[in-house]
Amino acid sequence: MRVLGIDPGSETLGWGVVEGTGSKYAAVDFGAIKARPKLDFSKRLLTMYNGVADVIERFEPDVLSLEDTFYAKNASVAIKLGQVRGVILVLAEQRGLEIAEYAPRLIKQTVVGYGNAEKQQVGMMIKVLLKLKAVPEPHDAADALATAICHLHHSRLK
């Protein structure tokens, strides 16, 4: 199974493709899609849509694993994040991908063993689990890889 993990963001969206089953997996590739903060928000959404569409076309994943919404102190940030998630969900539906959504705490619990883990801890565990030479940069890419691994672990339990 090939899983595309997404850590959504309106300025930086992390993505990571992981292949495998259960607890046996390997990184295929990862990265981030960046949109200039000064762009109109609708243009940033289009940048994210086009960037993820390109990743789907290049790597042909079976599943899109997406970080679910979370509580944000700033309502405006939460709304923008929800709009980015919506664009990605529509794209996945258009491409016929299976969609899985996971809460940030569950992703961290699955990868690190602690639901309140810091970004550095997630990055270090991704490096170890995927046998990478370095912690994936930016941290959004590490979070996306963690989201993909989370799906691989939980899909075998279904």
Active site residues: 7, 67, 140
Cα 63 to Cα 7: distance, rounded to the nearest angstrom: 14
Alpha-carbon dihedral angle through residues 3, 59, 121, 131, given to the nearest 10 degrees: 100
Sign of CA dihedral 120, 146, 112, 130: negative
Return the residue matching tokens 């699955």.
Answer: 110
Residue 137 φ/ψ, nearest 5 degrees = -120, 145
Cα 57 to Cα 89: distance, rounded to the nearest angstrom: 16
Find, among 72, 94, 103, 93, the residue nearest to 10 by Cα. Answer: 72
Task: Spell out the alpha helix ranges (H) of the chain.
Answer: 41-59, 75-94, 104-111, 119-129, 139-155
